[in-house]
Amino acid sequence: MTDPTLADRVRARDARAIARAISLIEDESPQAAALVGRVFPHTGRAYLIGVTGPPGAGKSTLVDRLTTELRRAGRTVGILAVDPTSPYSGGAVLGDRVRMQAHAEDAGVFIRSMATRGHLGGLARTTAEAALVLDAAGFDFVVIETVGVGQDEVDIVRTADIAVVTVVPGSGDEVQALKAGIMEIADIFVVNKADREGADRMAASIEAMLSLEDWPAGGWRPPVMRTVATTGAGVAELVATIGTFRERTAGELGTRRRARAEWRLREILGRSFLQHVEARVLEPGEFDAILDRIAARDADPYGAAAAVMGRALGAGSTSSGMTLDHVGIAVQDAADYTTLFEKLFGLSTDEPEPVGPHRVRFVDTGDATLELVEPVTPDAPVAKFLAARGAGLHHVCLRVRDIDAAVASLRARGVRMIDEHARPGAHGSRIAFLHPSSANGLLIELKQPRGDHRIEDLAI
């Protein structure tokens, strides 16, 4: 489990705790999800500024100057600088942090480089979660600098509250540059290195393209600003424009953040589902075998995906992934009932099997099964049940594919469990009981049969 004090230390803006938290998130450690869950209720206060643009546009220097202006106004700043991935260590190439050494000793600034690790879009896959950590730490602004991006690497618009697109004169054909996808996401355009020849032409080209759009009356039209980040020229005006945009679009912030939440949730669900398929549905090496069959034209991608989906979701199960496994009947002596079922209905009964302080026998009906449960010791739970109510319905058992996930989901929804964790059941199964107080007095058992996560080969 995650150190329960780590979230508290993050909220206290402990630099070492923040660094540790982001490392857990970057490594996609199982502890990271619990950490995000603890800090998430304390987020939503920071304003996220995204700074993006092509390589060589001076983004790092601009972020450094932007931070200086915000600190001069008494605001705290967290910086996430996304760098290329080192081919040797797999970590970030720390070019951005080298350019921001002026803030290294400032307690009101936290700088973290993140490696893309092969993720496209200009950001690392976990940048959004790292921003949540800085938000929870109480930073007024979180500045996210993307790695140098190309035409369609625009994840920043799904992560930040404002997107500042930085361009530089002398980059070649201005019209070709302006056709890039990043030009469509800007809330503010910044022509950096504006002291160079061609800056006016670049700014005019952007204005010309903006004039072709039909902007809503009273809506925000992206301004085109000029800066020289090396000297700080124009940066104060940029900060003021960011403030104006924040005020003008305050009513839209909730809509923007909801859209970002939808995108992020869909991404996490997709990644989690794929991880579930690889870990619990497919056998080791089976994914590669499916790819080989597709490459050999023995299967098509859609058919293969449909087959895997069918296995993952469990054909014939309910939409929740649960099916009725058996009905449990409390009896004093199971032998009497086995004879009864045999004589009346011709139903056979399994051999008795000890399960804790009970002995169970299963009566196979061909569909759902009846479980006869008799106590072995006077203090067994079923013995107490019989003493209070007599023989009869004891519990209903639902079969699940992943009992650990089912128990975690129920507990997260406030359901009281008799078993906080799954325990061994009959026939090598794993079981857990819901407390009757959470099920209108009904005792419900969850059961994951032995080997249930092992499913037959793909039928494709």
Q: Could you report the per-residue pLDDT of 242-257, keeping only the tens digit for each?
A: 999 999 999 888 888 8
Amino acid at 199: A
Which pLDDT score, from 0 to 100, does residue 348 have?
82
What residue spans in the chain does CATH classification 3.40.50.300 cover?
45-248
What pLDDT score does 51 carry? 92
Query: Does the structure show a pLDDT above 90 at 162?
Result: yes
249: tokens are 């679009």
Nearest-angstrom CA–CA distance, 378 and 393? 19
* pLDDT value at residue 119: 45
Give percent of the chain above pLDDT 90.
38
pLDDT for res 153: 52
Residue 391 near residue 377 (C-beta atoms within 8 A) = no
Is the confidence at residue 181, as pLDDT, over 60?
Answer: no
Cα–Cα distance between 12 and 28 in angstroms, integer? 23
Q: What is the pLDDT of residue 174?
A: 54
pLDDT of 121 reads 41
Please tell me the CATH superfamily of domain 323-448, with its number: 2,3-Dihydroxybiphenyl 1,2-Dioxygenase, domain 1 (3.10.180.10)
Smallest CA-to-CA distance from 200 within 176, 172, 169, 242 is with 169
Is the torsion defined by CA of 105, 108, 109, 110 positive or negative?
Answer: positive
At residue 348, φ and ψ (nearest 5 deg) are -85, 155
pLDDT at 263: 81
Is 100 a residue whose pLDDT tops 60? yes
The class of domain 45-248 in CATH terms is alpha beta
- The values of phi and psi at residue 199, to 5°, are -65, -45
Q: What is the mean pLDDT of residues 158-178?
A: 74
Residue 90, pLDDT above cutoff 90: no
pLDDT for position 120: 42
Helices 30-39, 127-136: inter-axial angle, 10-degree rounding: 40
84 pLDDT tier (thresholds 50, 70, 90):
low
Count CB-CB contacts under 10 A for residue 140: 16
Mean pLDDT of the chain, nearest integer: 82
Q: What would the DSSP string read from start to end of 189-256?
A: EEE-STTSTTHHHHHHHHHHHHHTS-PPTTS----EEE-BTTTTBTHHHHHHHHHHHHHHTGGGHHHH
Query: 328 has which bridge partners?
Result: 371, 395
Region 60-79: what's the mean pLDDT?
95
pLDDT at residue number 86: 45
Q: Are 196 and 169 in contact (CB under 8 A)?
A: yes
pLDDT one-digit tens code per residue, 27-47: 888 888 889 989 999 999 999
* C-alpha triplet 13, 16, 161: angle, nearest 5°: 50
Contact 142, 125 (CB under 8 A): no
Percentages of the chain per state (helix, strand, coil), in multiples of 5: 40, 20, 40
CATH 3.10.180.10 domain span(s) along the chain:
323-448
For residues 442 and 322, which has the higher predicted lDDT (pLDDT)? 442
Which residue has better confidence, 233 or 309? 233
Highest mean pLDDT among 152-166, 369-383, 402-416: 369-383
Q: What is the pLDDT of residue 9?
A: 95
Average pLDDT over residues 325-345: 86
Task: State how beta strands 358-364 and 369-375 pair.
Answer: antiparallel
More confident residue, 71 or 456: 71
Element (H, E) at 394: strand 392-399
Tokens of 20: 């540790």
Give percent of the chain above pLDDT 70: 84
Q: What is the bridge-based pairing of β-strands 323-330 and 369-375?
A: parallel
CA angle 266, 272, 274 (to 5 degrees): 105
Q: Please, which pLDDT band fits residue 87 given cuts at 50, 70 and 90?
A: very low
Per-residue model confidence (pLDDT) at position 318: 44
More confident residue, 299 or 81: 81
Q: Please tell me the pTM assigned to this model.
A: 0.63
Q: Could you tell me the sign of the dihedral formed by the alpha carbons of 173, 174, 179, 182, in that order?
A: positive
> Which pLDDT value is given to residue 420?
85
Q: Please report which confidence band the pLDDT of residue 146 belongs to, taking 50, 70 and 90 as the band edges.
A: confident
- Highest mean pLDDT among 33-47, 365-379, 397-411 belongs to 33-47
Residue 451 has pLDDT above 80, yes or no: no
